[in-house]
Amino acid sequence: HLHDIEAAFGRERQQRWGTRVLALDLLAADQIVLPDRATFEIWRDLPLSQQMTQAPDQLILPHPRLAERAFVLVPLAEIAPDWRHPVFRQTVRDLRDALPRADVEQVTRL
């Protein structure tokens, strides 16, 4: 489990979206949508106030907010620029390029 690996590196799950030593997330798997498109859409459209307090009790793929996050799309575009989101049907490159330029520029290599 990814949570076990995070714990081995000292991650403590005390606050959703809190500061963490390590975060491992399964973002997508080929063109699979799990558990189904309707559930994906519910979590994708969840208001921010609810996102901050609720967490799904099952794996949702692709990650519901993958397309909104420069810190995901910038590095993903380096390794899989032509991967196509199974719901939005856009490539990683296209999703990254649709983000605000300032968000993309804030992502730096470690």
Note the pLDDT tens digit of each residue in 29-48: 999 999 999 999 999 999 98
Instruction: Report the percent of the chain where pLDDT is more than 70.
Output: 92
Q: How confident is the model at residue 20 (pLDDT cuts 50, 70, 90)?
A: low
Domain-located, residue 85: yes
Please check the confidence at residue 17 and state whether its pLDDT lies above 60.
no
Domain-located, residue 84: yes
Domain-located, residue 32: yes
Residue 39 belongs to domain spanning: 25-105
Q: State how many domains the chain has.
A: 1
Domain-located, residue 36: yes
Give the pLDDT mean for 9-15.
Answer: 75
Domain-located, residue 5: no
Give residue 8's Cα distance to chain centre. Answer: 22
pTM above 0.85, yes or no: no
Top-confidence residue, 92 or 23: 92
